[in-house]
């Protein structure tokens, strides 16, 4: 069998291409047209060959984010003391990896690919709200998730385990996984009790989580980080032991 017909060889070539893309991005920006899911920022580059600040995430569909944005919009004007996150950067983090060097990043790619292949697509929905560490002294205001949270937790664990084996162990591994979407951050601990109450009854439309993204985050002079999607991997498309993933 030739390499052209060998799926393992093709995957190896794809991983090599992704590794080259990541190195090129670190030297001067991710090429146009390569981003999927989370909106990329233009020309996010550090020193050549330097470490990258990475995380792995799920990117919800645009229509789902539009619904949540419409709800959160009126709340922003009343609380300008908070640093509201931009709708373009909204995501559900599976594992924050921190600073990852080029060697570990290259090893990370096949680990994340294998993690994605082990899990079926599943259904989620945004619902309610909360705050870390508490609504009366919040550092983060977030929207919660309902749906197949067990499948989400298992996927997050696989991603974290794969990252650890690649040499990119998540700095917060060992903490209880609490899936959420960050709506706002607080410069100083703030009371967001009214905001949590205003969002408490929210129940968004259901959507299918069907792929994971490796994302680079760059902290610049502005308060908002800039994100660029480096690679994406689909989850398995249907679960033969249960209902399909739906729309």
Q: Can you tell me the distance from the alpha carbon of 12 to that of 220, in angstroms, rounded to the nearest whole number?
A: 34
Within 8 A by CB and 6+ apart from 237, the residues are: 120, 121, 210, 245
Q: Which CATH number fits domain 49-234: 3.90.1140.10, 3.30.565.10, 3.40.50.300, 2.40.50.140?
A: 3.90.1140.10
Average pLDDT of the chain is 83
Per-residue pLDDT tens digits for 151-203: 999 999 999 999 999 999 999 887 899 999 999 999 899 999 999 999 999 99
Query: 205 near 125, Cβ under 8 Å?
Result: yes
Q: Give the pLDDT confidence score for residue 49 in this predicted structure.
A: 62
Q: Average pLDDT of 96-105?
A: 96
Q: Can you tell me the distance from the alpha carbon of 84 to that of 92, in angstroms, rounded to the nearest whole number?
A: 16
> Which two structure tokens, joined as six digits, stand for 231?
């690679």
* Residue 19 pLDDT greater than 80, yes or no: no
Within 8 A by CB and 6+ apart from 236, the residues are: 117, 118, 119, 120, 121
Q: Give the pLDDT confidence score for residue 230 in this predicted structure.
A: 96
Report the length, in residues, of the chain: 247
Rounded to the nearest 5 degrees, what angle is found at the Cα of 84, between the Cα atoms of 80 and 90? Answer: 165
Helices (H), the chain: 7-28, 62-78, 102-117, 149-165, 193-199
Per-residue pLDDT tens digits for 195-240: 999 999 999 999 999 999 999 999 866 567 889 999 999 999 966 6
pLDDT bucket at 134, cuts 50 / 70 / 90: very high
Q: Per-domain residue ranges for the chain?
A: 49-234
Query: Of 219 and 144, which is predicted with more confidence?
Result: 144
213 is catalytic: no
> Which two structure tokens, joined as six digits, stand for 164?
């650890």
Q: Average pLDDT of 24-49?
A: 38
154 is catalytic: no
pTM above 0.85, yes or no: no
Q: Give the pLDDT confidence score for residue 37 in this predicted structure.
A: 39
């Amino acid at each position: 069998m030739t390499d052209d017909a060998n799926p393992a060889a093709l995957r190896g070539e794809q991983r090599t291409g992704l590794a080259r893309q990541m190195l090129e991005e670190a030297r001067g920006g991710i090429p146009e047209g390569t981003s999927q899911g989370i909106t990329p920022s233009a020309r996010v580059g550090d020193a050549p060959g330097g470490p990258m600040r990475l995380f792995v995430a799920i990117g919800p569909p645009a229509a789902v984010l539009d619904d949540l944005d419409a709800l959160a919009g009126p709340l922003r004007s009343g609380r300008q003391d908070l640093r509201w996150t931009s709708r373009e950067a909204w995501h559900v983090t599976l594992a924050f990896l921190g600073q990852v060097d080029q060697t570990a990043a290259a090893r990370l790619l096949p680990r994340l690919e294998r993690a994605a292949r082990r899990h079926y697509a599943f259904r989620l929905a945004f619902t309610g709200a909360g705050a870390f560490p508490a609504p009366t002294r919040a550092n983060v205001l977030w929207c919660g998730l309902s749906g197949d949270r067990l499948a989400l937790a298992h996927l997050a664990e696989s991603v974290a385990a794969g990252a650890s084996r690649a040499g990119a162990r998540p700095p917060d591994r060992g903490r209880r996984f609490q899936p959420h979407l960050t709506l706002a951050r607080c410069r100083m601990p703030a009371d967001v009790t009214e905001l949590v109450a205003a969002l408490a009854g929210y129940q968004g439309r259901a959507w299918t989580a069907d792929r994971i993204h490796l994302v680079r985050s760059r902290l610049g002079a502005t308060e908002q980080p800039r994100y660029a999607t480096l690679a994406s991997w689909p989850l398995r498309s249907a679960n033969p032991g249960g209902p399909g993933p739906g729309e």
